[in-house]
A and B are shown apart, each in its own frame.
Chain A
Amino acid sequence: MKRLEDKVAIITGAARGIGFSIAEMLSEHGAISIIIDLNQEAIDIAVQKIDDMGNKAIGFAADVTNSEEIASIFKEIHKKFGKIDILINNAGITKDGLLMKMKESDWNAVMDVNLKGTFLCTQKVCRYMIKNRSGVILNIASVVGIMGNAGQANYAASKGGVIALTKSSAKEFASRNIRVNAIAPGFIKTEMTDKLPQEVIDNYSAAIPLSRMGTVKDVANLCIFLASEEASYITGQTIQVDGGLIM
Protein backbone atom coordinates (compact mmCIF):
# COMPACT_ATOMS: atom_id res chain seq x y z
CA MET A 1 0.00 0.00 0.00
CA LYS A 2 1.23 3.46 -0.87
CA ARG A 3 2.02 6.01 1.83
CA LEU A 4 -1.03 8.23 1.17
CA GLU A 5 -3.32 5.62 -0.40
CA ASP A 6 -6.78 7.06 -1.15
CA LYS A 7 -6.22 10.20 0.91
CA VAL A 8 -8.30 13.07 -0.42
CA ALA A 9 -6.00 16.08 -0.75
CA ILE A 10 -6.96 19.60 -1.79
CA ILE A 11 -4.11 21.78 -3.07
CA THR A 12 -4.78 25.44 -3.85
CA GLY A 13 -2.86 27.25 -6.58
CA ALA A 14 -1.88 23.86 -7.96
CA ALA A 15 -2.07 24.30 -11.73
CA ARG A 16 1.66 25.05 -11.92
CA GLY A 17 4.85 25.72 -9.98
CA ILE A 18 5.31 24.46 -6.42
CA GLY A 19 1.57 23.70 -6.07
CA PHE A 20 1.55 21.42 -9.10
CA SER A 21 4.66 19.61 -7.96
CA ILE A 22 2.98 18.96 -4.60
CA ALA A 23 -0.20 17.68 -6.30
CA GLU A 24 1.85 15.48 -8.62
CA MET A 25 3.83 13.94 -5.78
CA LEU A 26 0.79 13.43 -3.53
CA SER A 27 -0.82 11.48 -6.38
CA GLU A 28 2.33 9.40 -6.87
CA HIS A 29 1.99 8.41 -3.24
CA GLY A 30 -1.58 7.25 -3.77
CA ALA A 31 -3.60 10.36 -2.88
CA ILE A 32 -6.43 11.80 -4.95
CA SER A 33 -5.20 15.32 -5.71
CA ILE A 34 -7.84 17.99 -6.03
CA ILE A 35 -6.35 20.92 -7.88
CA ILE A 36 -7.82 24.33 -7.16
CA ASP A 37 -6.70 27.26 -9.29
CA LEU A 38 -8.13 30.24 -11.13
CA ASN A 39 -7.75 29.20 -14.76
CA GLN A 40 -9.77 26.21 -15.99
CA GLU A 41 -7.50 25.61 -18.97
CA ALA A 42 -4.38 25.45 -16.79
CA ILE A 43 -6.21 23.14 -14.37
CA ASP A 44 -7.20 20.77 -17.18
CA ILE A 45 -3.58 20.53 -18.36
CA ALA A 46 -2.37 19.82 -14.81
CA VAL A 47 -5.02 17.15 -14.22
CA GLN A 48 -4.19 15.55 -17.57
CA LYS A 49 -0.47 15.35 -16.68
CA ILE A 50 -1.23 13.49 -13.46
CA ASP A 51 -3.77 11.31 -15.23
CA ASP A 52 -1.18 10.41 -17.90
CA MET A 53 1.07 9.03 -15.17
CA GLY A 54 -1.75 6.73 -14.09
CA ASN A 55 -2.47 8.68 -10.91
CA LYS A 56 -5.60 10.37 -9.61
CA ALA A 57 -6.49 14.06 -9.87
CA ILE A 58 -9.48 16.27 -10.48
CA GLY A 59 -9.72 20.05 -10.67
CA PHE A 60 -11.95 22.95 -9.76
CA ALA A 61 -11.67 26.57 -10.86
CA ALA A 62 -12.12 28.81 -7.84
CA ASP A 63 -10.83 31.94 -6.18
CA VAL A 64 -9.52 31.30 -2.64
CA THR A 65 -10.61 34.79 -1.59
CA ASN A 66 -14.23 33.95 -2.35
CA SER A 67 -15.68 32.37 0.75
CA GLU A 68 -18.91 31.11 -0.84
CA GLU A 69 -17.15 29.61 -3.84
CA ILE A 70 -14.72 27.72 -1.61
CA ALA A 71 -17.46 26.52 0.75
CA SER A 72 -19.54 25.12 -2.08
CA ILE A 73 -16.60 23.36 -3.76
CA PHE A 74 -15.43 21.79 -0.50
CA LYS A 75 -19.00 20.62 0.10
CA GLU A 76 -19.07 19.04 -3.34
CA ILE A 77 -15.71 17.33 -2.74
CA HIS A 78 -16.89 16.00 0.61
CA LYS A 79 -20.09 14.71 -0.96
CA LYS A 80 -18.15 12.94 -3.70
CA PHE A 81 -15.46 11.32 -1.55
CA GLY A 82 -17.07 11.25 1.90
CA LYS A 83 -14.02 12.89 3.51
CA ILE A 84 -11.25 15.47 3.10
CA ASP A 85 -7.95 14.31 4.59
CA ILE A 86 -5.41 16.93 3.53
CA LEU A 87 -5.54 20.64 2.70
CA ILE A 88 -2.47 22.37 1.27
CA ASN A 89 -2.83 26.15 1.27
CA ASN A 90 -0.40 27.02 -1.47
CA ALA A 91 -2.14 29.72 -3.53
CA GLY A 92 -0.11 32.91 -3.34
CA ILE A 93 0.82 36.00 -5.30
CA THR A 94 3.47 38.73 -5.18
CA LYS A 95 3.13 42.43 -5.93
CA ASP A 96 6.63 43.61 -5.07
CA GLY A 97 7.65 47.19 -4.55
CA LEU A 98 9.34 49.45 -2.05
CA LEU A 99 7.16 50.21 0.94
CA MET A 100 7.38 53.96 0.36
CA LYS A 101 5.83 53.57 -3.05
CA MET A 102 3.60 50.54 -2.47
CA LYS A 103 0.03 50.98 -3.62
CA GLU A 104 -2.65 50.19 -1.11
CA SER A 105 -4.29 47.97 -3.73
CA ASP A 106 -1.07 45.90 -4.01
CA TRP A 107 -0.96 45.50 -0.24
CA ASN A 108 -4.59 44.38 -0.19
CA ALA A 109 -4.32 41.98 -3.13
CA VAL A 110 -1.37 40.10 -1.58
CA MET A 111 -2.97 39.97 1.87
CA ASP A 112 -6.24 38.75 0.38
CA VAL A 113 -4.86 35.80 -1.53
CA ASN A 114 -1.99 34.75 0.73
CA LEU A 115 -3.43 35.31 4.19
CA LYS A 116 -7.21 35.59 3.89
CA GLY A 117 -7.29 32.79 1.32
CA THR A 118 -5.44 30.50 3.74
CA PHE A 119 -7.83 31.46 6.55
CA LEU A 120 -10.95 30.89 4.44
CA CYS A 121 -9.87 27.51 3.09
CA THR A 122 -8.89 26.39 6.61
CA GLN A 123 -12.23 27.56 7.99
CA LYS A 124 -14.24 25.84 5.27
CA VAL A 125 -12.36 22.55 5.48
CA CYS A 126 -12.10 22.22 9.26
CA ARG A 127 -15.71 21.20 9.85
CA TYR A 128 -15.15 18.04 7.78
CA MET A 129 -11.86 17.26 9.50
CA ILE A 130 -13.27 17.93 12.97
CA LYS A 131 -16.15 15.58 12.31
CA ASN A 132 -13.70 12.96 11.07
CA ARG A 133 -11.37 13.49 14.06
CA SER A 134 -8.51 13.50 11.60
CA GLY A 135 -6.82 15.82 9.14
CA VAL A 136 -3.65 17.52 7.97
CA ILE A 137 -3.36 21.16 6.95
CA LEU A 138 -0.12 22.46 5.42
CA ASN A 139 0.37 26.15 4.80
CA ILE A 140 3.01 27.24 2.34
CA ALA A 141 4.70 30.24 3.95
CA SER A 142 8.12 31.59 2.97
CA VAL A 143 11.47 32.35 4.58
CA VAL A 144 10.75 36.03 3.98
CA GLY A 145 7.85 35.65 6.43
CA ILE A 146 10.54 34.95 9.04
CA MET A 147 13.38 37.24 7.99
CA GLY A 148 11.59 40.02 6.05
CA ASN A 149 12.68 41.24 2.64
CA ALA A 150 13.20 44.69 1.17
CA GLY A 151 10.70 45.26 -1.62
CA GLN A 152 8.32 42.63 -0.31
CA ALA A 153 6.68 44.25 2.73
CA ASN A 154 3.24 42.98 1.70
CA TYR A 155 4.38 39.47 0.78
CA ALA A 156 6.57 39.08 3.87
CA ALA A 157 3.80 40.35 6.16
CA SER A 158 1.28 37.97 4.58
CA LYS A 159 3.64 35.00 5.03
CA GLY A 160 4.46 36.01 8.60
CA GLY A 161 0.70 36.08 9.12
CA VAL A 162 0.40 32.60 7.65
CA ILE A 163 2.93 31.33 10.21
CA ALA A 164 0.93 32.84 13.11
CA LEU A 165 -2.29 31.48 11.62
CA THR A 166 -0.65 28.05 11.44
CA LYS A 167 0.23 28.14 15.14
CA SER A 168 -3.22 29.36 16.19
CA SER A 169 -5.10 26.78 14.14
CA ALA A 170 -2.73 24.03 15.33
CA LYS A 171 -3.70 24.92 18.90
CA GLU A 172 -7.42 25.09 18.16
CA PHE A 173 -7.58 21.80 16.26
CA ALA A 174 -5.06 19.65 18.13
CA SER A 175 -7.73 18.10 20.37
CA ARG A 176 -9.47 16.83 17.24
CA ASN A 177 -6.38 15.12 15.85
CA ILE A 178 -5.87 17.71 13.13
CA ARG A 179 -2.27 18.75 12.56
CA VAL A 180 -1.38 22.13 11.07
CA ASN A 181 2.15 22.97 9.95
CA ALA A 182 3.80 25.58 7.77
CA ILE A 183 6.50 25.09 5.19
CA ALA A 184 8.83 28.01 4.53
CA PRO A 185 10.57 27.61 1.18
CA GLY A 186 13.64 29.71 0.43
CA PHE A 187 14.85 30.43 -3.09
CA ILE A 188 13.12 27.81 -5.27
CA LYS A 189 13.65 27.29 -8.99
CA THR A 190 10.31 27.77 -10.81
CA GLU A 191 9.07 29.18 -14.12
CA MET A 192 9.13 32.53 -12.39
CA THR A 193 12.82 32.39 -11.40
CA ASP A 194 13.78 30.96 -14.83
CA LYS A 195 13.23 34.44 -16.19
CA LEU A 196 15.85 35.97 -13.88
CA PRO A 197 19.31 36.81 -15.29
CA GLN A 198 22.03 34.28 -14.41
CA GLU A 199 23.92 36.95 -12.49
CA VAL A 200 20.99 37.46 -10.11
CA ILE A 201 20.66 33.71 -9.60
CA ASP A 202 24.41 33.42 -8.89
CA ASN A 203 24.20 36.22 -6.33
CA TYR A 204 21.31 34.57 -4.53
CA SER A 205 22.98 31.16 -4.62
CA ALA A 206 26.15 32.60 -3.08
CA ALA A 207 24.15 33.50 0.05
CA ILE A 208 22.86 29.94 0.48
CA PRO A 209 25.08 27.56 2.52
CA LEU A 210 24.15 24.62 0.26
CA SER A 211 25.05 26.99 -2.62
CA ARG A 212 22.18 26.15 -4.95
CA MET A 213 18.56 27.05 -5.48
CA GLY A 214 15.96 24.62 -4.19
CA THR A 215 13.68 22.64 -6.47
CA VAL A 216 9.91 22.27 -6.31
CA LYS A 217 10.54 18.63 -5.43
CA ASP A 218 12.48 19.68 -2.32
CA VAL A 219 9.28 21.37 -1.14
CA ALA A 220 6.95 18.59 -2.27
CA ASN A 221 9.04 15.95 -0.44
CA LEU A 222 8.50 17.75 2.86
CA CYS A 223 4.77 17.96 2.14
CA ILE A 224 4.58 14.20 1.66
CA PHE A 225 6.35 13.62 4.96
CA LEU A 226 4.24 16.14 6.91
CA ALA A 227 1.01 14.80 5.37
CA SER A 228 1.88 11.21 6.27
CA GLU A 229 1.44 9.27 9.50
CA GLU A 230 5.20 9.46 10.02
CA ALA A 231 4.70 13.09 11.07
CA SER A 232 1.87 12.28 13.49
CA TYR A 233 3.60 14.01 16.44
CA ILE A 234 4.43 17.23 14.59
CA THR A 235 2.07 20.20 14.71
CA GLY A 236 2.26 23.99 14.84
CA GLN A 237 5.74 24.04 13.30
CA THR A 238 7.27 26.09 10.52
CA ILE A 239 9.86 24.06 8.67
CA GLN A 240 12.26 25.78 6.30
CA VAL A 241 13.30 24.31 2.95
CA ASP A 242 15.97 26.87 2.17
CA GLY A 243 19.39 25.21 1.89
CA GLY A 244 20.36 26.76 5.22
CA LEU A 245 19.67 30.35 4.12
CA ILE A 246 18.53 31.32 7.60
CA MET A 247 19.35 29.45 10.78
Chain B
Amino acid sequence: MDIKAKVIDLIVEELGVEIGEVTLEASFIEDLGADSLDTVELIMKFEEEFDIDIADEDAEGLVTVGKAIEYLEKQLS
Protein backbone atom coordinates (compact mmCIF):
# COMPACT_ATOMS: atom_id res chain seq x y z
CA MET B 1 0.00 0.00 0.00
CA ASP B 2 1.39 3.42 -0.84
CA ILE B 3 2.09 5.91 1.90
CA LYS B 4 -0.56 8.40 0.85
CA ALA B 5 -3.38 5.87 0.95
CA LYS B 6 -2.18 4.50 4.27
CA VAL B 7 -1.99 7.98 5.82
CA ILE B 8 -5.50 8.80 4.65
CA ASP B 9 -6.76 5.51 6.09
CA LEU B 10 -5.16 6.27 9.45
CA ILE B 11 -6.69 9.76 9.53
CA VAL B 12 -10.15 8.38 8.74
CA GLU B 13 -9.75 5.80 11.49
CA GLU B 14 -8.26 8.10 14.15
CA LEU B 15 -10.46 11.14 13.62
CA GLY B 16 -13.63 9.33 12.59
CA VAL B 17 -14.12 11.43 9.45
CA GLU B 18 -15.40 10.53 5.96
CA ILE B 19 -12.75 9.69 3.40
CA GLY B 20 -14.10 12.44 1.11
CA GLU B 21 -13.24 15.09 3.72
CA VAL B 22 -9.59 14.07 3.82
CA THR B 23 -8.28 16.33 1.06
CA LEU B 24 -4.64 17.39 0.84
CA GLU B 25 -5.52 20.94 1.93
CA ALA B 26 -7.62 19.84 4.90
CA SER B 27 -6.33 21.09 8.25
CA PHE B 28 -6.60 18.53 11.04
CA ILE B 29 -7.89 21.03 13.54
CA GLU B 30 -9.90 23.49 11.42
CA ASP B 31 -11.40 21.13 8.83
CA LEU B 32 -11.34 17.67 10.37
CA GLY B 33 -12.45 18.63 13.88
CA ALA B 34 -9.37 17.33 15.69
CA ASP B 35 -8.46 18.78 19.09
CA SER B 36 -4.86 19.21 20.23
CA LEU B 37 -4.72 15.77 21.85
CA ASP B 38 -6.06 14.18 18.65
CA THR B 39 -3.17 15.64 16.69
CA VAL B 40 -0.66 14.22 19.18
CA GLU B 41 -2.39 10.85 18.96
CA LEU B 42 -2.31 10.98 15.18
CA ILE B 43 1.43 11.64 15.18
CA MET B 44 1.88 8.71 17.59
CA LYS B 45 -0.16 6.56 15.20
CA PHE B 46 2.08 7.55 12.29
CA GLU B 47 5.16 6.70 14.35
CA GLU B 48 3.75 3.33 15.22
CA GLU B 49 2.47 2.40 11.75
CA PHE B 50 5.57 3.52 9.86
CA ASP B 51 8.03 2.62 12.64
CA ILE B 52 9.74 6.01 12.74
CA ASP B 53 10.34 8.75 15.29
CA ILE B 54 8.82 12.12 14.50
CA ALA B 55 10.60 14.95 16.32
CA ASP B 56 8.34 17.43 18.15
CA GLU B 57 9.66 20.29 15.99
CA ASP B 58 8.68 18.37 12.86
CA ALA B 59 5.31 17.34 14.28
CA GLU B 60 4.37 20.99 14.84
CA GLY B 61 4.52 21.63 11.10
CA LEU B 62 2.25 18.75 10.13
CA VAL B 63 -0.98 20.72 10.28
CA THR B 64 -2.63 19.55 7.07
CA VAL B 65 -3.14 16.16 5.43
CA GLY B 66 -0.87 17.19 2.54
CA LYS B 67 1.95 18.26 4.82
CA ALA B 68 1.78 15.00 6.75
CA ILE B 69 1.89 12.91 3.56
CA GLU B 70 4.75 14.97 2.14
CA TYR B 71 6.73 14.64 5.37
CA LEU B 72 6.20 10.90 5.71
CA GLU B 73 7.03 10.23 2.06
CA LYS B 74 10.28 12.12 2.48
CA GLN B 75 11.19 10.33 5.73
CA LEU B 76 10.43 6.90 4.34
CA SER B 77 12.10 7.28 0.96
Chain A interfacial positions (CB closer than 8 Å to B): 127, 130-131, 172-173, 175-176
Residue numbers in B under 8 Å from A173 (CB-CB): 37
Q: Is the CB of B35 within 8 A of A175?
A: yes
Residue numbers in B under 8 Å from A131 (CB-CB): 41
Residue numbers in A under 8 Å from B35 (CB-CB): 175
Q: Is the CB of B37 within 8 A of A175?
A: yes
Q: Is the CB of A172 within 8 A of B41?
A: no
| Chain A proximity of B40: nearest CB distance (Å) | 8
B63 within 8 A of A: no
List 9 A–B pairs whose Cβ atoms lie within 8 Å, in order of A's numbering. A127-B44, A130-B37, A130-B41, A131-B41, A172-B37, A173-B37, A175-B35, A175-B37, A176-B37
Report how far A175 CA is from B36 CA in the complex, Å.
Answer: 11
Residue numbers in B under 8 Å from A175 (CB-CB): 35, 37
Residue numbers in A under 8 Å from B37 (CB-CB): 130, 172-173, 175-176
Report how far A175 CA is from B41 CA in the complex, Å.
Answer: 13
Report how far A176 CA is from B35 CA in the complex, Å.
Answer: 11
Residues 15-41 (chain B) with a chain A CB within 8 angstroms: 35, 37, 41
Residue numbers in A under 8 Å from B41 (CB-CB): 130-131
Find the B residue at minimum CB distance from A173.
B37
Report how far A164 CA is from B41 CA in the complex, Å.
Answer: 24
Report how far A127 CA is from B45 CA in the complex, Å.
Answer: 11
Report how far A130 CA is from B44 CA in the complex, Å.
Answer: 11
Report how far A175 CA is from B35 CA in the complex, Å.
Answer: 10
| Chain B proximity of A53: nearest CB distance (Å) | 38
Given contacts A130-B37, A131-B41, A175-B35, 6 further A-B contacts (CB under 8 A): A127-B44, A130-B41, A172-B37, A173-B37, A175-B37, A176-B37
Report how far A131 CA is from B44 CA in the complex, Å.
Answer: 10
